[in-house]
C-alpha cells in the first residue's frame, strides 16, 4: 500500500469512537484505555486540506463523558452523539455504522481522501463505494482487531498500535 499524500488533497475524517475504545481495551488488556485523538487527527490530516473531522460516540452516562466530548471538540472534531439503546430484554446497542456511512457518502463529492478510524468489517461496502468514486480510503485502526476484509479493501492501513496512539 502506497502512501499518497498531496497538500491539495481534501480530507474528511470519520472516527468510530466506540470501535477504537473497545479495540484498545482488547489490544492493551486495559479496562480504561486512553487514545490520543489529537495525534490521530494530526496524523490523519498530514499537511493536507481538512474539510471536516467527525467523532461519533454513544452516550453511556459515564463519569467524565462530557469532558471527553468537549476535549474532542477543542482539538477540532465535530462530535456526533447518540443515546445508548436498551432493549426490553436488557441487551444494549450503540453504534454509528450507518450514520458514518451516510455522512461519508454525503460528503464524498467534496473529498479526495476519506480517513476512517475503525477496523469494523461492516465498513467494507462503504470503502468499496468510495473507491469506486475515485476517493482514496485510509483506515486508522488496531491491526490486532481489524477485519481482514478492511485490510484487503482500504488503500492504506495505519496501525494505531504501531504509531503509539495510546496516552
Backbone angles phi, psi at 141, to 5 degrees: -160, 175
* pLDDT greater than 50 at residue 1: no
Q: Considering only CA atoms, which of 135, 11, 120, 14 is closest in space to residue 77?
A: 14
How many angstroms separate the Cα of 7 from the Cα of each of 14, 25, 45, 62, 113? 19, 34, 9, 39, 12
Residue 1 lies in a domain: no
**How high is the pLDDT of residue 87?**
62
| pTM of the model as a whole | 0.90
**How high is the pLDDT of residue 167?**
46
Mean pLDDT throughout 86-115? Answer: 87
Q: Which of the pair, 136 or 60, is modelled with greater confidence? A: 136
| Domain, as residue range, for 138 | 10-159
3 state SS of 160: coil
Mean pLDDT throughout 136-155? Answer: 96
pLDDT, mean over the chain: 89
Backbone angles phi, psi at 87, to 5 degrees: -90, 165
Residue 2 lies in a domain: no
Q: Considering only CA atoms, which of 134, 133, 139 is closest in space to residue 14?
A: 139
**How high is the pLDDT of residue 92?**
58
* pLDDT greater than 60 at residue 74: yes
**How high is the pLDDT of residue 162?**
66
Per-residue DSSP letter, 77: P
Residue 166 lies in a domain: no
Residue 80 lies in a domain: yes
What percentage of the chain has pLDDT greater than the value 70? 90
Cell numbers of 151, please? Answer: 485490510
Q: How many domains does the chain have?
A: 1
Tell me the per-residue pLDDT of 5-40, one tens digit each, with 9 for 90 and over. Answer: 788 999 999 999 999 988 988 888 877 778 899 999
> Cell match 491491526: residue?
143
The CATH number assigned to the domain holding 130 equals 3.40.50.1010
Sorted by sequence, the CB contacts under 8 Å of residue 31 that are 6+ apart come out as 25
What percentage of the chain has pLDDT greater than the value 90? 66
Contact indicator for 140, 115 with CB cutoff of 8 Å? yes
Amino acid at each position: 500500500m502506497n502512501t499518497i499524500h498531496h497538500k491539495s488533497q481534501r480530507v474528511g475524517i470519520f472516527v468510530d469512537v466506540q470501535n477504537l475504545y473497545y479495540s484498545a481495551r482488547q489490544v492493551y488488556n486495559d479496562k480504561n484505555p486512553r487514545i490520543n485523538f489529537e495525534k490521530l487527527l494530526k496524523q490523519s490530516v498530514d499537511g493536507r486540506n481538512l474539510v471536516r473531522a467527525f467523532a461519533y460516540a454513544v452516550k453511556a452516562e459515564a463519569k467524565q463523558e462530557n469532558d471527553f466530548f468537549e476535549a474532542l471538540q477543542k482539538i477540532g472534531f465535530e462530535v456526533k452523539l447518540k443515546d445508548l439503546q436498551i432493549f426490553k430484554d436488557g441487551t444494549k446497542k450503540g453504534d454509528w455504522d450507518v450514520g458514518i456511512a451516510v455522512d461519508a457518502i454525503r460528503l464524498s463529492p467534496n473529498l479526495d481522501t476519506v480517513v476512517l478510524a475503525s477496523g469494523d468489517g461492516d465498513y467494507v461496502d462503504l470503502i468499496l463505494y468510495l473507491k469506486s468514486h475515485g476517493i482514496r480510503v485510509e483506515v486508522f485502526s488496531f491491526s490486532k482487531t481489524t477485519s481482514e476484509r478492511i485490510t484487503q479493501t482500504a488503500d492504506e492501513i495505519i496501525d494505531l498500535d504501531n504509531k503509539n496512539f495510546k496516552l
